[in-house]
Chain A
Amino acid sequence: MGIFDYKIVEEAAKQLYIRALCDLPPDVREAIKRAAARETQPTAKEVFKAMLAAIDIADEKKTLICQDTGLPLYMLKIGSGFHWDGAEIKDRIYEGAKRATVEFPFRSSATDYLTRVNSQTSVGRGLPVLYVDFLKDADYLEMLMIPKGSGSENMSTLKMFVPADGINALKKFVLDSVIAAGANPCPPGIIGVGMGGTADLVMRLAKEAIARPVGQRNPDPAVAKMEQELEDAINATGSGPMGLGGDVSTLAVHIETAHTHITLNPVAVNTQCWPARRARARVYPDGRVEYGY
């Protein structure tokens, strides 16, 4: 095998951003279709029809579904069976996200937090957000890309409860957060929930939760049961698509968990909008790239 050319990672990072924005994953499409079929309120049915039309038009015209191209997040899994150069991967993803923005071209939302000057490249200090994890018994690099729009990201919540508050405080917090968010995160989306860990880990868990295919349950039956209960509770509010009233207020609740400190009891909520955008690539040491969702 020759020397690996990291241009391949750059190209994949670029393609992933564009794919995520234009081509919704099949599980999301199916979830919207199921929601549309289940919905009984006439105005809500009309809203679902428009969502399905938007997906079709984006397919046909190879264009963006939503104008908010968000901030780029790349979740990496680095296989242990090949000597990957992490620093090189980081630089190439930065370049790839930038090239997607200026070459497609689409709007950059990345802004200096103080001067509010837009970098015009979707990247900047601290961006793209990178999550790095490792994979045993694999030689490939997996890249999962999620563009995070502001309507949903702005509705994120986190609270450090105490052990005495129990698990019920966390469940109530999730429901109350979703009600407070109302129409802003373009419901019905995926409600990502983190439980346990530390302040930073719990939000990361919530983010990892929105990256799961719609409705794929947590393997722990107790957590899966809680997902279903929260889903039913949120749908029972009747808030509906775009908060205009209806039977379907969320596509799914996903919960990810971690061990926490004996005196901590944290919870975080991170919502993903109905166009729950994501794209995945596997990059192999021989230069092959497989795209998926």
Chain B
Amino acid sequence: MARYHLQTPFSEEAIRQLRVGDIVHFDGTLFGIRDLTQIYMFDQHHEPPVSLKGMPCIHTAPSLKKVDGKWVPICVGTTTSYRMDRFTPPLIENYGVRAIIGKGGLYEKSLEAMKKFGAVYLAIVGGAASLETQQIVEVEQVYWEHLHPEALYQFRVKDFGPLTVAMDSHGNNLYSEVKAKAMARLPEIYQKLGVA
């Protein structure tokens, strides 16, 4: 397990050095996206009004409030990723996104895109929204405000993490590895439980 402290935008080189099981923190820009954000982008064909090149995107529907015309975070947490799997390959290929942050992981096609174009899936600690919210320094922009709480959010973050590299750009998937190990142990576990 190696530790990295990165800065956005991420270069391909910075991302390619990451391996599953590594721990990452980063500073800089973070984009918030959700189901509807991506349906709007990909199914309803709206170009994002800002460049996502080299950037990380997190699966979130933040609670924000507007104070004197400025958005401030109440609670920003992370949602389960698999629902947004089909949007991930185009996000990486067409817009140059280098990291997807979420919980639970994504499927094979996303992993392939990560390998081909140099991107990673970073697993956050789900349920720890209080920590996540504290690491958000500022809500810099909310694009497509009419979609809130599933708009496109631009956050500035500091020491964002810990994030575990769960899918890397070399075709490794930590979730599959963990599951395979569990499956290998299963016959023995069944035996011990007396249900074999």
B45 interface hit (Cβ, 8 Å) = no
In the bound assembly, the distance between CA atoms of A171 and B189 in angstroms comes to 12
Cβ B185 vs Cβ A237 within 8 A? yes
Known contacts A49-B162, A238-B182: A63-B23 contact under CB 8 Å: no
Chain A residues touching B, majority SS? helix
Cβ B166 vs Cβ A244 within 8 A? yes
A57 interface hit (Cβ, 8 Å) = yes
A123 interface hit (Cβ, 8 Å) = no
Cβ A233 vs Cβ B193 within 8 A? yes
Point out the residues of chain B lying under 8 angstroms from A240, CB to CB. Answer: 178
B98 interface hit (Cβ, 8 Å) = no
Point out the residues of chain A lying under 8 angstroms from B9, CB to CB. Answer: none
What class of interface size applies to chain A in its complex with B?
35 or more
Point out the residues of chain A lying under 8 angstroms from B189, CB to CB. Answer: 175, 233, 236-237
Cβ A46 vs Cβ B127 within 8 A? no
> B113-148 vs A: 1/0 string, CB under 8 Å?
000000000010111111101100000000000000
Point out the residues of chain A lying under 8 angstroms from B75, CB to CB. Answer: 63-64, 67, 106-107
Point out the residues of chain A lying under 8 angstroms from B149, CB to CB. Answer: 107
In the bound assembly, the distance between CA atoms of A61 and B129 in angstroms comes to 12
> A56-74 vs B: 1/0 string, CB under 8 Å?
0110010111111000000
B175 interface hit (Cβ, 8 Å) = yes
In the bound assembly, the distance between CA atoms of A106 and B130 in angstroms comes to 13
Cβ A245 vs Cβ B162 within 8 A? no
> A144-174 vs B: 1/0 string, CB under 8 Å?
0000010100000000000000001101100
Point out the residues of chain A lying under 8 angstroms from B193, CB to CB. Answer: 171-172, 175, 229-230, 233
Known contacts A47-B162, A172-B193: A273-B127 contact under CB 8 Å: yes
In the bound assembly, the distance between CA atoms of A218 and B185 in angstroms comes to 28
Output the nearest chain A residue to B104 by Cβ-Cβ distance.
Answer: A183
Cβ B178 vs Cβ A66 within 8 A? no
Known contacts A244-B123, A245-B174: A43-B1 contact under CB 8 Å: yes
In the bound assembly, the distance between CA atoms of A240 and B105 in angstroms comes to 15
Cβ A233 vs Cβ B130 within 8 A? no
Q: How far is the CB of B119 from chain A (nearest CB, A)?
A: 19
Cβ A183 vs Cβ B175 within 8 A? yes
Cβ B178 vs Cβ A107 within 8 A? no
In the bound assembly, the distance between CA atoms of A201 and B103 in angstroms comes to 32
Cβ A242 vs Cβ B134 within 8 A? no
**One of A57, A168, A244, A273 near B178 (C-beta < 8 A):** A244
Cβ A236 vs Cβ B77 within 8 A? no
A53 interface hit (Cβ, 8 Å) = yes
Point out the residues of chain B lying under 8 angstroms from A49, CB to CB. Answer: 162
14 contacting pairs across A/B (C-beta < 8 A): A46-B162, A47-B164, A57-B134, A67-B63, A67-B77, A168-B194, A171-B194, A175-B195, A183-B105, A183-B126, A236-B188, A238-B181, A242-B164, A245-B174
With contacts A151-B103, A245-B181 known, what are 19 further pairs, Cβ within 8 A? A46-B162, A63-B74, A63-B133, A64-B129, A66-B130, A105-B65, A106-B74, A168-B195, A171-B193, A172-B193, A182-B104, A182-B175, A229-B193, A236-B192, A237-B182, A237-B189, A242-B126, A242-B164, A244-B178
Binding site for A on B (CB under 8 A): 1, 21, 23, 60-63, 65, 74-77, 79-80, 103-105, 123, 125-131, 133-134, 149, 162, 164, 166, 174-175, 177-179, 181-182, 185-186, 188-190, 192-195
